[in-house]
Amino acid sequence: MAKQRKTHDEKRFNLSKTQQVLYQHEFKKADKVFNQSRTKS
């Protein structure tokens, strides 16, 4: 659900294609790190 809200935010801010790609890349990277740390706990 949080990811869907992020996508809506991206559309609302009307980011350029390059900004969207960079943002999504960073978000996925952070999401992966978050999932790894959550698994360790």
- pLDDT for 1-41, tens place per residue? 566 666 666 666 666 888 888 889 999 999 999 999 988 86
* Per-residue pLDDT at 26: 92
* Integer angstrom CA distances of residue 10 from 34, 35, 41: 21, 22, 31
pTM for the predicted model, two decimal places: 0.43
Which segments of the chain are extended strands (E)? none
* Per-residue pLDDT at 25: 92
Question: Which burial class, exposed, middle or buried, applies to 23 when counting CB atoms under 10 A from its CB (0-12, 13-18, 19+)?
Answer: middle
